[in-house]
Amino acid sequence: MKLVECVPNFSEGRRPEVVAAIVDAGARVPGVTVLGAESDRDHNRTVVTLAGAPDAVSEAAFRMTAEARRLIDLNTHEGAHPRMGATDVIPFIPLRDVTMEDCIALAKRLAERIGRELDIPCFLYADAAAVEERRSLPKIREGGFEGLRTRIGTDPTRIPDTGPHAIHPTAGCTAVGARFFLVAYNVNLGTTDPALAKSIAADLRESGRKVKTTAADGSVVDTVVPGKFKKLQAAGFELKERGLTQVSMNLLDYRITSVADVYAEIEKRAADAGVAIVESELVGLLPREALLRTATERVKLCGFKDEQVIEHHLDRARDDAFTCFDPFLEALASGAPTPGGGSAAALVGALGAALGAMVTNLTIGKKKFVAVEADMLAARTTLMDAVAALRAGVKEDALLFDRVMAAYKLPKTTPAEEATRKAAVEEATLIAAHGPFGLMKTAAATLPTLLETAEKGNAAAASDAAVGALLVRACVEGAAYNVMINVGQMKGHPEADGLAAATATLRADVATRAQAVLDAVDRRI
């Protein structure tokens, strides 16, 4: 299964409700797992880690960017960390069965979409950079939101790769890229003077520091003195709320420069200045290999959790996928009226559509099926939209039943009350019948696409298309019974009778279409 990681950074770390809304926008995308969300009040920044199928992760990143645009205004934002956008940076990292070239293509498509649909200019960086000068994120971000506000659109070196040639008035601009695993690592020093942290950062980072030297002609010129470590970005900050200063770093390749390497050097230089290291911290997740290169006790690592090792988190997410239905099954088996058959039917339909999407994912990217890749990409979108709609129907069916029960509980002690109650019951019952009928139509609409996956998709997964069709038909049949139990109480009512007739017609059509999928699978296996 193709997996990518995405680590979008948002310029908000002090309003939990805003962070929750942004994270939730991504978490609602089917096929995406939120591995972590780390907020820092001093930096006023949140780092979110997502993993999943490439297109699903890209969709989640887009929705989170749209939500950040809605909720964050950089004109009122303050924090220690440099930033140029409400969504400051979106990197894609290959995890499994995905190449760096795949991630570069993903970054370019997302940057183009953000520019086109959200009016936010984007710069492509790291391995996705169109020009060498834009591989470095700090160089792109130089000047921050306030500086870039006047430079974008006027400075030819600051023309965005995608989107308008003017900064968004509140959301700024965004860097979108592809890279190797980046380890975000901070070392906190026991001093309130940020000068030491800034000096250490300049001495260690690959880009080094600028110093003034005297040229042969006597003129004073700026010369760049490279830092000690390759593949290291670093800056010094003051943590006012904690009375500390910080060397904040990005290790761009832990195989070249490790956490242990930079900690030892910072410890030495701080000790020379009479300052002790208070603690260090890893922000977000890191690969198991990077942790193995680090003695956590030696570097005074604070607050580190096993879940921050990305392989551990992915394993847990995989295991959770097999147990996440347990609470629903227990509720279904209980004596409570909801969730009931309608919710179960909706879930079965979502499973059927998801199986069809699985067939497309097992087809896309395979050389043998390159001729049908465009068809499978379109099919996957259709099926995943159905998954989301049917999944929402699981809860919606219970809400419709609750509405009917609420109508029956209305008082009926007077003729007027009885008339009001009767009208409310009739309205709620009709609505409760339309709900499962809508599920029927949503599920039924997946069958032409399931047929296409059965005929064109990877033959090794044809049986999954067959099971998907069977589950979709089960959804339709189950939802139909929920329609009929409601309209059965309203025989003679024109709308109810029409719904009953439409239900019978749709059931017959679905039976034929589902059988066509099974026949197609039989021919291929």
Q: Which residues of 137-168 are buried (b: 16+ CB within 10 A; e: fewer)?
A: beebbebbbeebbeebeeeeebebbbbbeebb
Residue 418 half-sphere exposure toward CB, CA atoms < 13 A: 3
- At 281, which amino acid appears? E
Residue 322 has pLDDT above 70, yes or no: no
pLDDT confidence band for 320 (50 / 70 / 90): low
Residues 424 and 294 in one domain: no
Total domains in the chain come to: 3
* Cα–Cα distances in angstroms (integers) from residue 423 to residues 282, 414, 426, in the given order: 61, 14, 5
* Residues labelled catalytic: 81, 397
Residues 174 and 188 in one domain: no
* Residue pLDDT, tens place only, 475-525: 999 999 999 998 888 888 889 899 999 999 999 999 999 999 999 999 998
Q: Write the CATH number for 118.
A: 3.30.990.10
Residue 97 has pLDDT above 90, yes or no: no
Residue with token string 């110093």: 211
Spatial contact of 138 and 233, defined as CB atoms under 8 Å apart: yes
State both tokens at 69: 């645009």
Residues 449 and 513 in one domain: yes
Residues 102 and 202 in one domain: no
Residue 47 has pLDDT above 70, yes or no: yes
Give the predicted TM-score (pTM) of the model. Answer: 0.58
Q: What pLDDT score was predicted for residue 510? A: 96
Q: What pLDDT score was predicted for residue 58? A: 94
State both tokens at 46: 């949140």
Average pLDDT over residues 274-279: 96
Residue 253: Cβ within 10 Å count: 16
Q: Write the CATH number for 215.
A: 3.30.70.670
| End position of a domain, from candidates 163, 178, 193 | 178
User: Rounded to a whole number, what is the largest CA-CA distance in the chain?
Assistant: 105
Residues 308 and 355 in one domain: no
Residues 51 and 191 in one domain: no
Q: What pLDDT score was predicted for residue 218? A: 79
Higher per-residue pLDDT: 514 or 221? 514
Q: Determine the structural domain holding residue 507 and report its residue range.
A: 327-524
- At 473, which amino acid appears? R
Q: What is the DSSP string of 208-234?
A: -EEEEEE-TTS-EEEEEE--S-TTEEE
Under 8 Å CB-to-CB from 323, ≥6 apart: which residues?
none
State both tokens at 307: 């879940």
Q: Write the CATH number for 500.
A: 1.20.120.680
Residues 268 and 349 in one domain: no
CA distance 503 to 491: 14
Please state the length of the chain.
525
Q: What pLDDT score was predicted for residue 216? A: 79
Q: What pLDDT score was predicted for residue 419? A: 92
Residue 382 has pLDDT above 70, yes or no: yes
Residues 114 and 188 in one domain: no
Residues 302 and 393 in one domain: no
Rg (CA), the chain: 28
Residue with token string 């009928």: 437
Cis amide bond preceding 339, omega within 30:
yes
Task: Classify 178 as helix, strand or coil.
Answer: strand
Task: Classify 65 as helix, strand or coil.
Answer: helix
Q: What pLDDT score was predicted for residue 116? A: 95
Residues 147 and 290 in one domain: no
| End position of a domain, from candidates 117, 144, 178 | 178
Residue 293 has pLDDT above 80, yes or no: no
Spatial contact of 54 and 46, defined as CB atoms under 8 Å apart: no
Spatial contact of 162 and 115, defined as CB atoms under 8 Å apart: yes
Residues 308 and 344 in one domain: no
Residues 189 and 172 in one domain: no
State both tokens at 399: 């809400």
| End position of a domain, from candidates 264, 296, 318 | 318
